[in-house]
Amino acid sequence: MSSKTILNVDPYYLFVMSYYLSKIVKNVRSPKKWLISIIMYFYRWFTGYLTDRLFGFVNVFGRKSSALPPVQNPLLLDSALSLAAKIRKKQVSSTSVVKAYLHRIEQVNPLINAVVDQRGAEALEEASSIDELISSGEKSEKELEREMPLLGVPFTVKEAISVTGLLFTTGVVSRRGIRATEDADVIRLLKKAGAIPIAVTNTSEQCFWMETFNNLYGRTNNPYDLRRTAGGSSGGEGAILASAGSVIGVGNDIGGSIRMPSFFNGVFGHKPSRGIVPNRGHFPPTEHVLQQYIGTGPMCRYATDLKTMLRIMAGPNVNLLQLDKKVSLKNLKVFYMECDGDGNFTLPAASGVKNGVKKVISHFRKICDVPPQRVQIRGLKHGFKVWAHAVSAKVANVATVESRVFGDEANISVWKEFLFSLFGWSDFSFPVVATVLVEKYLAPKDKSVAEPFIRIQRQLEKDFQNLLQDDCVFIMPTMPEPAAFHYANILRAQNCGYVAVFNVLGLPATSCPVGLDDNGLPVGVQVIAGLRNDHLNMVVAREIEREFGGWICPGPIVG
């Protein structure tokens, strides 16, 4: 909540509630509309203000970010590209960089619980070999830069993506101890570019939830306030990056799983255009029809690293992009919305979030020849339902959540596991079991129920195709509110419609930090470009970082 409160209530929240009260009064003569207005008022009151108070009290004894140790090694404050250049020039050794990050992980991980496995000895051996290669003079500095642009730079990986020899469980109790026997395609490509994987990070169970928690490794905490969520499902990756325990990382995103944790942790995260980055080597495996919605992509502390990472991770598909195309910010056309269009079930955009959008738009108003234009894309307020129907078992003709979670164990009682999960007695986390129940009893039983939302999806595709021509971007909040207290998102699943809808549309989407709100929590914006126009996302992200500072360290910096 804002520090400027009346009776300890955010003034913007009072405005929103008064707006809904006015709708109730206006609709008093229409019983159906009146009832809907009443339900929406109390839904938002309960999931917003009351839930914040309830889970704020539950987490009252937790520690804030002041618990994080200070950043003392200046190597932890360089971008990946800067580190790679220094390593090539022999200004620093890869060994010293890897040691610095391994030490930082040791410092912060007991507090944030982000890293679940690491390869310290192997990473140091690889770093030593790289230092020997550079010292040998076998290749010139230019050759090294061209062939291995991230030579000697350490990186971390979401544990749902396989790294040879490291744990590969995705938080599933029945997979305890399983290790990857090969590298995922993106890991192989990054290794070829000279980068060194040092650790894998926590994820929600089977990547099914917007908070990173599972019964194998526990809950990941937000480094800006340990009582709050790091987001999901790439929450461990977002938290370790924000804590300066990593400089670049790899996540994947089928419903916002890169962008949500990037937003909550104040780092950059990019979901590439559909079909660009290979997804082989992930768990859980995904049917071909859903592959079009998954985006494996980079998560970084510095926007300057996004383009290089994407270029590497795209492999041969990089030729489908225009990453080297010159972009004139002056000629850029910017469209924006300050929320999702006031969806009935999503929470209203918090004042800090809306202010973040306003600051970005104000900046582009100064530098663009054509002033940014506010638009109203009506279908966005149905974003969650559009996504949920698109990926549902009945519509997409894919495996049910129940079969994915419980596998072939036919003797499992969903209701028993639901009850046990409430008390932590189940092998399955509560959000996962709750998702099974929702799909089992509330999901559409046939495709006809989804058809209105399929039509909305088609209209959204047309709207954005018409809107996002060359040199055009669309800006809106990544999420309607900053990181919530632990557990609170159980009642706010539909908020992920802000990000998930762009998985269905296949458009490139980048979450960019734009400072902190009054509570010291990161806020930011989501930048959307036309299909395969990822180069625009990169340019706009760098400009936002240049103007607003990008990542802000959640703890002190010494020296």
- Which residues are marked as active site? 158, 233, 257
Give the rounded distance of the alpha carbon of 327 from its chain centre: 26
Cβ neighbours, 10 Å, residue 359 = 16
Cβ neighbours, 10 Å, residue 515 = 16
Nearest to 293 by CA among 224, 377, 391, 388: 391
Q: List Cβ neighbours of 372 (8 Å cut-off, separation of 6 or more).
A: 334, 335, 336, 361, 364, 365, 475
Cα end-to-end distance, the chain, whole Å: 33
Tokens of 470: 């060359």
Burial of 106-135, coded b for 16+ CB within 10 Å and e otherwise, reads ebbbebbbbbbbbbbeebbebbeebbebbe
CA angle 548, 549, 554 (to 5 degrees): 120
What's the farthest any 2 CA atoms get from each other in the chain? 84
CA angle 208, 186, 272 (to 5 degrees): 65
Question: E strands of 382-457, at which residues?
Answer: none
Polymer length of the chain: 559
Nearest to 535 by CA among 254, 322, 224: 322
CA 272/CA 294 separation, integer angstroms: 9
What's at 280, amino acid-wise?
Answer: R
Q: Which H or E run includes 218?
A: strand 218-219
CA 78/CA 277 separation, integer angstroms: 26
Q: List Cβ neighbours of 509 (8 Å cut-off, separation of 6 or more).
A: 259, 270, 271, 499, 502, 526, 527, 528, 537
